[in-house]
């Protein structure tokens, strides 16, 4: 078990390159910031570079996700959709050898495009919004079209962190939640409104070890008049002196510089999870799933297994000023992910 500790995490306030000219980690880039400041100028390290833009939109009625990733030897574009009422779920993935056509820039603000006969997606950034467009002609036998706008004003704070395993292995992540959405998703003849939903971005750029494990939990919602965003992680950050734990209340980030424990039953992921800070009561939550998404990949020596649980969070979190926020029905997810990549 990893040592329980609080971290002394430096807060960055100026733009910086993630890497030095030789491709190794720029140690001045290690820290966290309230806005994305990093130029993720990855180079070298064949097969170890990993890039992705993952978007997830939740409303009271559905969850929709669209992702473009490039893991150096393979590009993946995938989408999935869950109707909360009917529990109808479908997922589609398009792969590209050596990441052909999966162009992911160095900055969070870079636009993203992908086009294939099976799937088209684009993430186009404006000053205070991202336009998410998806077209899939055969999504479980029906056409899926998504036209969404995720809005975020310039004062909205986000969680941006560099995790330093070593000078050769490191990751920048930008977690951006509680972004109000507009627009709709149409599947066949059914149209789903996203006008009262929230979007979350998981932007990742780094050089990863071959074997990895992580837990990740995220949520966006409104409770007692406050907009609450949660982002917690464990496993992959252990022992690095940095983590990806934070809460965003009404657009203001509180960084949590201590470990989070994920207590759940790996024999039955549908049982309630306990998610808590290890040294304090800054985070004291129960997560109750109502749906399990399982994604498995096995190809020769490569593999991935994800158990992403969709459900509700209840409990309390405390911001950096000591104010406690309680809630009992925030929609979100928690996952268990093992990868050999």
Question: Looking at residue 86, what is its pLDDT?
Answer: 97
Question: Which distant-in-sequence residues (6+ apart) come within 8 Å of 316 by Cβ?
Answer: 281, 284, 285, 324, 325, 326, 327
Mean pLDDT, rounded, for 10-23: 98
Question: Looking at residue 258, what is its pLDDT?
Answer: 95
Beta carbons of 64 and 146 less than 8 angstroms apart: yes
- Give the C-alpha distances (Å, rounded to integers) separating 201 from 58, 211, 219, 239, 254: 12, 24, 11, 25, 18
Specify the length of the chain in residues: 341
**Which tens digits make up the pLDDT trace of 272-315?**
999 999 999 999 999 999 999 999 888 767 889 999 999 999 99
Question: Looking at residue 2, what is its pLDDT?
Answer: 45
Question: Looking at residue 1, what is its pLDDT?
Answer: 41
Percentage of the chain with pLDDT > 90?
Answer: 94
Number of H helices, E strands in the chain: 0, 24
Mean pLDDT, rounded, for 1-22: 84
Mean pLDDT, rounded, for 246-254: 98
Q: Comparing C-alpha atoms, which of 111, 304, 327 is closest to residue 219?
A: 327
Question: Looking at residue 7, what is its pLDDT?
Answer: 78
CA separation for the pair 56, 63 (Å, rounded): 7
Beta carbons of 324 and 193 less than 8 angstroms apart: no
Residue-wise DSSP of 196-240? T-EEEEEEEEEE--SEEEEEEEEEEEEETTEEEEEEEEESTTTTS
Global pTM reads 0.96
CA separation for the pair 320, 283 (Å, rounded): 12
Question: Looking at residue 188, what is its pLDDT?
Answer: 98
CA separation for the pair 15, 244 (Å, rounded): 19
**Which tens digits make up the pLDDT trace of 178-201?**
999 999 999 999 999 999 999 999
**Which tens digits make up the pLDDT trace of 154-186?**
899 999 999 999 999 999 999 999 999 999 999
Q: Let me know if domain 14-209 sits in CATH 2.40.370.
A: yes
- Give the C-alpha distances (Å, rounded to integers) separating 178 from 128, 198, 219, 268, 322: 13, 5, 8, 30, 21
**Which tens digits make up the pLDDT trace of 31-72?**
999 999 999 999 999 999 999 999 999 999 999 999 999 999
Question: Looking at residue 259, what is its pLDDT?
Answer: 95
Q: In the 3-class helix/strand/coil scheme, how is 31-68 assigned residue by residue?
A: CEECCCCEECCCCCCCCCEEEEEEEEEECCCEEEEEEE
Largest CA distance in the chain: 53
**Which tokens is 216 given?**
């990740």
Question: Looking at residue 297, what is its pLDDT?
Answer: 83
Mean pLDDT, rounded, for 103-126: 97
Question: Looking at residue 220, what is its pLDDT?
Answer: 98
pLDDT over 70 (residue 5):
no
Cross-strand bridge partners of residue 211 = 340
Question: Which distant-in-sequence residues (6+ apart) come within 8 Å of 309 by Cβ?
Answer: 269, 270, 273, 287, 289, 291, 292, 293, 333, 334, 335
Q: Beta strand 38-39 with 16-17: parallel, antiparallel or unpaired?
A: parallel
């Amino acid at each position: 078990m990893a040592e329980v500790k609080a971290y002394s995490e430096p807060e960055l306030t100026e733009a910086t390159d993630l890497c030095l000219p030789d491709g190794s980690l720029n140690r001045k880039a290690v820290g966290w910031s309230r806005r994305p400041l990093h130029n993720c100028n990855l180079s070298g390290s064949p097969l170890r570079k990993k890039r992705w833009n993952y978007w997830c939109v939740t409303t009271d009625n559905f969850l929709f996700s669209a992702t473009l990733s490039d893991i150096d030897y393979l590009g993946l574009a995938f989408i999935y959709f869950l109707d909360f009422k009917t529990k109808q779920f479908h997922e589609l993935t398009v792969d590209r050898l050596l990441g052909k056509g999966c162009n992911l820039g160095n900055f969070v603000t870079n636009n993203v495009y992908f086009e294939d006969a099976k799937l088209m997606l684009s993430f186009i950034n404006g000053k205070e919004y991202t336009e998410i467009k998806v077209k899939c002609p055969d999504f479980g036998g029906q056409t899926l079209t998504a036209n969404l706008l995720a809005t975020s004003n310039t004062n909205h704070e986000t969680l941006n962190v560099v995790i330093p395993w070593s000078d050769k292995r490191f990751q920048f992540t930008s977690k951006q939640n509680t972004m109000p959405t507009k627009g709709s998703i149409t599947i066949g003849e059914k149209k789903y409104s996203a006008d009262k939903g929230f979007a979350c971005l998981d932007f990742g750029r780094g050089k990863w070890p071959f074997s990895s494990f992580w837990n990740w939990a995220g949520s966006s919602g409104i409770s007692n008049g406050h907009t609450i965003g949660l982002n917690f992680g464990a496993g992959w950050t252990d022992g690095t002196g940095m983590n990806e734990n934070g809460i965003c209340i009404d657009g203001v980030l509180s960084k949590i510089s201590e470990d989070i424990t994920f207590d759940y039953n790996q024999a039955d992921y549908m049982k309630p999870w306990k998610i808590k800070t290890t040294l304090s009561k800054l985070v004291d939550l129960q997560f109750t799933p109502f749906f399990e998404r399982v994604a498995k990949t096995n190809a020769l020596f490569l593999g991935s297994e994800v158990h992403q649980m969709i459900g509700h969070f209840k409990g309390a979190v405390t911001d950096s000023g000591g104010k406690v926020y309680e809630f009992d029905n925030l929609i979100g997810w928690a996952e268990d992910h093992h990868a050999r990549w």
